[in-house]
Amino acid sequence: MARRAPAVDPEDSAQDAGRGPARSAAGLPGVAHALRQSWEQMGARRGVTTLRLLNQTDGFDCPGCAWPDPDPKHRHAAEFCENGAKAVAEEATLRRVTAAFFAEHSLTDLAGRSGYWLGQQGRLVEPMVRRAGSEHYVPVSWDEAFEIIATELAGLASPDEAVFYTSGRTSNEAAFLYQLFARAYGTNNLPDCSNLCHESSGAALNETIGIGKGSVTLEDLEMADLVLVVGQNPGTNHPRMLTSLEQVKRRGGSIVAVNPLPEASLRRFRNPQRPSGVLGAGTPLADQFLQIRLNGDLALFQALSRRLLDAEAAAPGTVLDHEFLTGHATGFDAFAAHLRTLDEADVAAATGLAAAEIDELARRVLAAQRIVVCWAMGLTQHANAVATIREVVNFLLLRGNIGRPGAGVCPVRGHSNVQGDRTMGIWEKMPDAFLVRLGAEFGFAPPRRHGHDVVDAIRAMRDGRAKVFIGLGGNFVAATPDTAVTEAAVGSCRLTVQISTKLNRSHAVTGQTALILPTLGRTEIDVQAGGPQVVTVEDSMSSVHASRGALPPAGPALRSEVAIVAGLAAATLARRVGQTGGPTAAAPASDASGRAEAPEAPAGVPAIDWTALAGDYRLIRERIANVIPGFDGYEEKIARPGGFLLPHPPRDAREFRTPSGRAVLTVNELTVLRVPPGHLLLQTIRSHDQYNTTIYGRDDRYRGVRGARRVVLVNPDDLAARGLADGDRVDLVGVWTDGVERRAADFRVVAYPTARECAAAYFPETNVLVPLDSTAKRSNTPTSKSLVVRLEPRD
């Protein structure tokens, strides 16, 4: 059904927008800001208790980003950052969204509210249903909710008409059960937020080094001679990474930032964990800042590698790591031949950099024995993202900068357990080896057809090929591209289900029947039949550890994600697909191992005692250890403070599990993204006061933007060329090959020192501009960092 678009937020006045980038990040203002927000939402005493346990070995894992914790011996009493505190406060808030709230607010009302307003209403505490045709959610029992879902799933013509989405906060245990459920039901339709995020990194790394994960530990990063921070804004999105970068400086290493925006955090960092950091001027971080054009990175890395080849030619045997290239790698000759044709004019056009700047960087590279390249969304969300990351790998392989201390690839992951969820099997195209082991462990034949990723899932819903959507966390309609198309696609479903902690737009834009299943968050105590439970998570550097909630649940009706998934699975799998109203499960007879089986599972459906698994998560971990390499001794290993490191063959032994058994140098075409006259490239980014679609506030402190989100940052010369000035109001109008006009209305222009022709604005407001079909080659990730737009003045 058609719904009102969220109003252009009336509170978003933009009065004070645009003071320019700050000179440093963190320090006292950061900490004070964090605590003020926590106090308001949590109450002071609760705030202290909660934050004391954040990222401690006996506490809970930060629900913010996936940055790793230091080794337990080196943890501070306050091992968190401002944005970690905000993420905790958002979850630990004392505000509640009750049945009375839904009686008062119709769906149309909710659909007209901003994401900020929805999030501010507090925690979801009761299961709710919106029945077909109704304007309101009403309370529903858990059993009835599971029955509604089971009935819809059983009524589908094929299991592939259901979509099981996951956002990256889900624990390993819940993720493992969820993918098991989807596959036991009969589909690999397991899209996740990773499809929108680091999919390009996974694709490039799997192909070139044989594993889709970063190869460095915190220690490696801190002992590097040179760290390149490319397409990443750590001061906002991975704040404690700055502590490691500061270490790099203290040990005499250097840091180079490559970014169209002069992000404050990379200039100077005031470490809030040291008195001098809180009070002083801070540590200058970046030794060199390359203000690159959007999407110029492939060209930059080719130009760098070309300089290395030239230096080697000038002084043979001194630059390249021949031993590594001949002993561990393949593809060098074709790669080198290709780079000999590199045209410096193309490099200049693509990067907007002077040759001298690249020369300077090349000198730093030649002086460095150990190099780490870190990156995030600035590399992954472009049409040629996979090729760009392959080019990063080429660059590192030339000097053997992988699989030795202080060197390697460091894709910095977003959501706190997004990497773990993949390890657990949340992927629409898990390799056959995994499916075989899963099938053997649980006695069934998992489907082999690849499932839908996020973009394909939207297409399937749009075209009537998918009819049921279940979201384990996240905010699907707001986080995904082409908002109008996606909202209509989701709206055409028979049933949408959101397993959530907080209210968001995906609860307002729903299928005919909609369910909200409220769940416990990371901060909360999780007690099941077998007693208090811990869950486990994996950080960006493949370290797995336990997380134990500390606060009483936000309400008595809440269930853990594990319990919800188990409830869903038990109700659904008791029926045969295609047989509405099939047999319901008899009460399962379980033994202590959780292996005892529900007696009458329909043919082809594995007999799994979901209730027993949900009663004691150790039983789930046992099954994980049987299926996934690296988890043997899981229970003992997570009992150790700090947890354990998963195997990573290139990191551990310079072993590359590619078809050739070697690391692969690749050949990538350089295409220069040219902007049509009068247009700009637009990137869609995060402000300092948001967590993806969760909006904490309207400030973007380090960029000097206050009280406004509908702003577009544009280089002053580009403004002048268009006869525009700081403060003008414009519509952002997207142009793409499909000829459809996509418009984000009423933005305020902020004159900002971004690279020429490269503008920036915040998502999710700008997701209306991202065409569904504009995706990265091979990873299918939306190109949300390079959209061609024009600014249309409003009167």
Per-residue binder mask for ligand MGD (CB under 6 A), 668-707, x = binder: ---------------xxxx---xxxxx-------------
Alpha helices in 163-198 (DSSP H): 172-185
Q: In this chain, which residue has its C-beta nearest to Mo ion?
A: 414
Q: Are 489 and 181 in contact (CB under 8 A)?
A: no
DSSP line for 555-572:
STT-B-HHHHHHHHHHHH
Report the distance separating Cα 173 and Cα 618, nearest Å.
9
Give, for 284, the enclosing helix (H) or strand (E).
strand 283-284
Applying CB under 6 A, does 27 fall inside the site for ligand SF4? no
Cβ atoms of residues 758 and 292 within 8 Å: no
Of 472, 417, 438, nearest to 178 (Cα)? Answer: 472
376 binds Mo ion (CB under 5 A): no
Residue 425 binding result from ligand MGD, ligand SF4, Mo ion, none, given CB thresholds of 5 to 8 Å by partner type: none
Q: At closest approach, how far in Å is the CB of 289 from Mo ion? A: 24
| Residues 84 and 239: beta-carbon distance below 8 Å | yes
* Binding of residue 501 to ligand MGD (CB under 6 A): yes
User: Which of 25, 81, 620, 788: binder of ligand SF4 (CB under 6 A)?
Assistant: 81
Nearest CA-CA partner of 246 in 214, 230, 224: 224
Of the pair 65, 458, the CB lying nearest ligand SF4 is at 65
Among 46, 213, 238, 364, binds ligand SF4 (CB under 6 A): 238
352 is a contact residue toward ligand MGD (CB under 6 A): no
Residue number with CB closer to ligand MGD (87 or 574): 87
Specify the stretch interacting with ligand SF4 by CB under 6 A; choose among 80-88, 357-365, 407-415, 417-425: 80-88
* CB nearer to Mo ion: pick between 64 and 414: 414
Q: Nearest 10 degrees: CA dihedral of 364, 365, 371, 377? A: 90
Phi, psi values for residue 559, rounded to 5°: -120, 160
**Min CB(322)–ligand MGD separation in Å:** 30
Distance CA(482)–CA(496), nearest Å, equals: 19
Considering only CA atoms, which of 274, 288, 376 is closest in space to residue 26? Answer: 274
When binding is defined by CB under 6 A, the residue of 24, 38, 41, 83 that contacts ligand SF4 is 83
How many residues contact ligand MGD, by CB under 6 A?
61
Footprint of ligand MGD on residues 290-329 (CB under 6 A)?
A: 292, 294-295, 297
Which listed range, 409-417, 539-547, 608-616, 730-738, lies at the site for Mo ion (CB under 5 A)?
A: 409-417
Q: How far is the CB of 287 from ligand MGD (least distance, A)?
A: 16
Q: How far is the CB of 505 from ligand SF4 (least distance, A)?
A: 23
Q: Which helix (H) or strand (E) holds 374?
A: strand 371-375
Q: Select 86 or 621, whichever has its Cβ closest to Mo ion.
A: 86
Which two structure tokens, joined as six digits, stand for 405?
């201390």
Q: Is residue 478 within the footprint of Mo ion (CB under 5 A)? A: no
For residue 115, the minimal CB distance to ligand MGD (Å) is: 8
CB of 672 to ligand MGD, least distance (A): 13
Return the one option of ligand SF4, Mo ion, ligand MGD, none that residue 742 interacts with (CB less than 5 to 8 A, by type): none
Q: Does residue 256 touch ligand MGD according to CB under 6 A? A: no
Interaction of residue 516 with ligand MGD, rule CB under 6 A? no
In this structure, are residues 31 and 81 in contact, taking their beta carbons and an 8 Å threshold?
no
Helix axes 355-367, 344-351, angle to 10 degrees: 100
Q: How far is the CB of 359 from ligand SF4 (least distance, A)?
A: 34
Interacting stretch for Mo ion, rule CB under 5 A, among 352-360, 410-418, 488-496, 777-785? 410-418
Query: 3-state class of 744 per DSSP?
Result: strand
> If binding means CB under 5 A, how many residues of this protein chain bind Mo ion?
2
CB atoms within 10 A of CB 472: 30
What is residue 647's DSSP assignment?
P
Alpha carbon distance 93, 88 (integer Å):
8
Q: Residue 414 or 594: which CB sits closer to ligand SF4?
A: 414
Q: Which is nearer to ligand MGD, 330 or 416 (CB)?
A: 416
Cβ 415 to Mo ion shortest distance, Å: 6
Kindly give, in sequence order, each residue whose CB lies less than 8 Å from that of residue 310, ignoring residues fewer than 6 positions away: none
Give me the least distance between CB of 501 and ligand SF4, in Å please. 16
* Nearer to ligand MGD among residue 521 and residue 606 (C-beta): 521
Name the residue whose CB lies closest to ligand SF4.
64
Q: Which residue, chain included where needed, has tokens 């505190």? A: 85
Q: Going residue by residue from 56 to 75, which x/- string records binding to ligand MGD, judged by CB under 6 A?
A: --------xx----------
Q: Binding of Mo ion at residue 782 (CB under 5 A)? A: no
**Within positions 50 to 69, which residues make up the interface with ligand SF4, using CB under 6 A?**
55, 62, 64-65, 67
Judge whether 436 and 444 are in contact, CB under 8 Å: no
Task: Give how many residues touch ligand SF4 by CB under 6 A.
Answer: 13
CA distance 504 to 111: 9
Using the contact rule CB under 6 A, the part of the chain among 135-143, 256-264, 315-323, 531-539 near ligand MGD is 256-264
Binds ligand SF4 (CB under 6 A): choice among 105, 240, 338, 748: 240
For residue 738, which amino acid is it?
D
Does the footprint of ligand SF4 cover residue 544 (CB under 6 A)? no
**Of 474 and 606, which has the nearer Cβ to ligand MGD?**
474
Partner interacting with residue 684 (select from ligand MGD, ligand SF4, Mo ion, none; CB below 5-8 Å by kind): ligand MGD
The two three-digit tokens of residue 212, written as one number = 């889709």
User: Which pair of structure tokens corresponds to residue 663?
Assistant: 């690391």
Closest CA to 715 of 791, 641, 773: 791
Binding segment for ligand MGD (CB under 6 A), chosen from 31-39, 301-309, 468-476, 610-618, is 468-476
Which residue reads 């209305």 in tokens? 745
Please list the residues that pair with 268 across neighbouring strands.
Answer: 284
Q: Which one of the spans 156-164, 234-242, 247-255, 725-733 is the region binding ligand MGD (CB under 6 A)?
A: 234-242
Partner residues linked to 515 by β-bridges: 129, 497
Query: How do beta strands 680-685 and 513-518 pair?
Result: unpaired
Please identify which residue in 414, 447, 511, 518 interacts with Mo ion, judged by CB under 5 A. 414
- Window contacting ligand MGD (CB under 6 A); options: 36-44, 280-288, 429-437, 497-505: 497-505
| CB-count exposure of residue 111 (10 Å: 0-12, 13-18, 19+) | buried
| Interactions with Mo ion, residue window 160-219 (CB under 5 A) | 197
Query: Three-state DSSP class for 715?
Result: coil
Q: How far apart are CA 236 and CA 82, in angstroms?
A: 9
Residues written for the chain = 795
Span interacting with ligand SF4, options 33-41, 236-244, 248-256, 432-440, rule CB under 6 A: 236-244
- What type of residue is 146? F
Tell me which DSSP letter residue 226 carries: E
- Report the distance separating Cα 536 and Cα 531, nearest Å: 16
Least spacing, CB of residue 471 vs ligand SF4, in Å: 23
DSSP string, 460-503: HHHTTS--EEEEESS-HHHHSS-HHHHHHHHHTSSEEEEEESB-
The Cα 403–Cα 392 span in angstroms is 15
Decide if residue 84 touches ligand SF4 (CB under 6 A): yes
Q: Is the peptide bond before 139 cis (omega within 30 degrees of 0)?
A: no
Positions in 547-606 near ligand MGD (CB under 6 A): 561
Q: Which parts of this chain interact with Mo ion (CB under 5 A)?
A: 197, 414
Write out the residues near ligand MGD by the rule CB under 6 A: 64-65, 83, 167-169, 193, 196-197, 230-233, 236-238, 258-261, 263, 292, 294-295, 297, 376-378, 381, 414-415, 472-476, 479, 499-502, 504, 519, 521-522, 561, 683-686, 690-694, 763, 766-767, 770, 784-785
Binding site for ligand SF4 (CB under 6 A): 55, 62, 64-65, 67, 80-81, 83-84, 87, 238-240
